[in-house]
Amino acid sequence: MVAKTSVEKSAGRPRDPETERRILEVTLRHLAEEGYSRMSLDNIALAAGVSKPTIYRRWPGKADLATAALRTLQLAEPPVDTGTTTGDLIATLENFSRSLLRPNGLSLIGTVLAEEAHTPELLALFRERLVVPRRQMLLAILDRAKRRGELRRGANLDVAVNLLVGAFYARYLAASAIPAGFPRELVAMVWPGLVRQRR
Amino acid sequence: MVAKTSVEKSAGRPRDPETERRILEVTLRHLAEEGYSRMSLDNIALAAGVSKPTIYRRWPGKADLATAALRTLQLAEPPVDTGTTTGDLIATLENFSRSLLRPNGLSLIGTVLAEEAHTPELLALFRERLVVPRRQMLLAILDRAKRRGELRRGANLDVAVNLLVGAFYARYLAASAIPAGFPRELVAMVWPGLVRQRR
DNA sequence: ATATTACGATACTGTATCGTATCGTAATAG
DNA sequence: CTATTACGATACGATACAGTATCGTAATAT
């Protein structure tokens, strides 16, 4: 028995894909709720209704399981199209705000940052699956505006994205809350630094 | 023996303040390096050169010790005075950048966020000791500018602070690095959204 | 000197956790 | 049917850890 792929049929009992899906889902939740260090495979097995050997049959260790769980992360938001650049920015940031305000919304971020020195693959995966795609979304909106001649010549789009996204983290750190009109206020303040001046 | 204050002399051996200071220093370091859950009192005692009962004589438990350690945090930067508002903002943000780029600079932030649900006093203390004072510094600079008539009438200074501070977090999350000219770029982009327009 | 509190060293208790081993039953291919 | 892999249940071994107990020595006040 060499390789086990989804097309190949072996002589034994087939693995249940639902089992794997459930383990990963529970793991992601526990990672967010407990952090990496406190997250326990005993508790994950219990919550997923599987035995520990079932988990170890798929992943050699705790870090591998956590990594696999983070690999399931993805942005689940439709593209926005409001007709204006600022409208698109605001809508995208509102999606972002909503995902941050979910239970444990910030704690997964906290966890991957806290674990950077010990288990750096966690931050790498988080970055790849959520951070970069979100930024690309915002960059795409700004890039279209730039190509339409809306933005000033030297506008650094990356800096704009850092400002817009980062403000949520700062706000949360300051008060564990993000007010409703926040995205609009952010865009309103950054926009004059972006927009092409009329002469 | 009722209360033990620094002026009262009891009949027994006095406590060594250096012992307490050392324990707290080591605790803060371990909290930043290991996170709260993985931080261990065994290791702190070892690193501080004290016994565990010595720690427990001062603090009833792990959370109390971590909380006390965070209470020692404080901003250790002199006020800036460059002669211009943007200069002051940039200088303050450069101080901020330097503190974030220290070893484990972001992991303490990560830790308090990750622990919010389990040990909320950690985030509360971190907020009180570092987050709020930093914001006050930036707000003070902006407030002075506002009173000098430099800023637009309705400029929301809180939003500006969120943008400026938060951009560092976003940048770090995206690439685990903060480039040298970052503060200047941020201020340059936010400033047009703040400054009073000439007419 | 005695009494008192602080201290490090050490040991202990109870619990938790990772990773491993085992077993009987389940689900498949041939 | 046999052989094979998957599974849950269970147990195990080794280690770690928070919190507690104990003891002899240290550092003070009276």
Q: Which residue among B112, B117, B185 places its CB closest to the CB of A33? A: B117
Residue A198 has pLDDT above 80, yes or no: no
- Can you say how many angstroms the Cα of residue A53 is from the centroid of all Cα atoms in its chain? 29
Asked if strand C contacts A18 at the CB level, meaning under 7 A, the answer is: no
pLDDT at B198: 72
- List the one residue out of A74, A62, A60, A57 whose CA is nearest residue A35: A62
The Cα of B159 is separated from the nearest Cα of chain A by a number of Å equal to 7
In CATH, A85-193 is 1.10.357.10: yes
Residue nearest to nucleotide D5 (CA to C1'): A12
Q: Of all nucleotides in the shown strands, which has a C1' nearest the CA of A11?
A: C29
Residue A9 CB coordination number (10 Å) = 8
The Cα of B73 is separated from the nearest Cα of chain A by a number of Å equal to 16
Q: Which residue among A111, A123, A135 places its CB closest to the CB of B114? A: A111
Q: Are A83 and A135 within 8 A, CB to CB?
A: no
- List the one residue out of A167, A31, A41 whose CA is nearest residue A112: A31
Residue nearest to nucleotide D8 (CA to C1'): A51
B17-71: CATH topology is Arc Repressor Mutant, subunit A (1.10.10)
Q: Are B126 and B77 within 8 A, CB to CB?
A: no
Long-range contacts of B117-124 (CB under 8 A, 24+ apart): B117/A33, B117/A104, B117/A107, B118/A34, B118/A38, B118/B36, B119/B36, B119/B63, B119/B66, B121/B63, B121/B67, B122/B36, B122/B66, B122/B67, B122/B70, B123/A176
pLDDT at B89: 98
pLDDT at A6: 41
Q: Are A167 and B159 within 8 A, CB to CB?
A: yes
* Cβ contact A166–B165 (<8 Å): yes
Q: Which residue among A155, A167, A193 places its CB closest to the CB of B191? A: A193
- Can you say how many angstroms the Cα of residue A155 is from the centroid of all Cα atoms in its chain? 26
pLDDT at B103: 86
How many Å apart are CA A49 and CA B99, to the nearest integer? 45
pLDDT at B19: 96
> Low-confidence residues of chain B, pLDDT below 50?
1-7
Q: Of all nucleotides in the shown strands, which has a C1' nearest the CA of A54?
A: D7
- As annotated, the residues of chain A forming the CATH 1.10.357.10 domain(s) are 85-193
* Cβ contact A109–B110 (<8 Å): yes
In three-state form (DSSP H/G/I as H, E/B as E, the rest C), the secondary structure along chain A is CCCCCCCCCCCCCCCCHHHHHHHHHHHHHHHHHHHHHHCCHHHHHHHHCCCHHHHHCCCCCHHHHHHHHHHCCCCCCCCCCCCCHHHHHHHHHHHHHHHHCCCCCCHHHHHHHHCCCCCHHHHHHHHHHHHHHHHHHHHHHHHHHHHCCCECCCCCHHHHHHHHHHHHHHHHHHHCCCCCCHHHHHHHHHHHHCECCCC
Sort B151 into a burial class: Cβ within 10 Å, 0-12 / 13-18 / 19+: buried
Confidence of residue A7 (pLDDT cuts 50, 70, 90): very low
pLDDT at B8: 56
User: pLDDT by residue (tens digit) across A149-171?
Assistant: 999 988 999 999 999 999 999 99
Residue A64 has pLDDT above 70, yes or no: yes
- As annotated, the residues of chain B forming the CATH 1.10.10.60 domain(s) are 17-71
pLDDT at B10: 73
User: pLDDT by residue (tens digit) across A74-115?
Assistant: 998 887 999 999 999 999 999 999 999 988 889 999 999 999
pLDDT at A4: 45
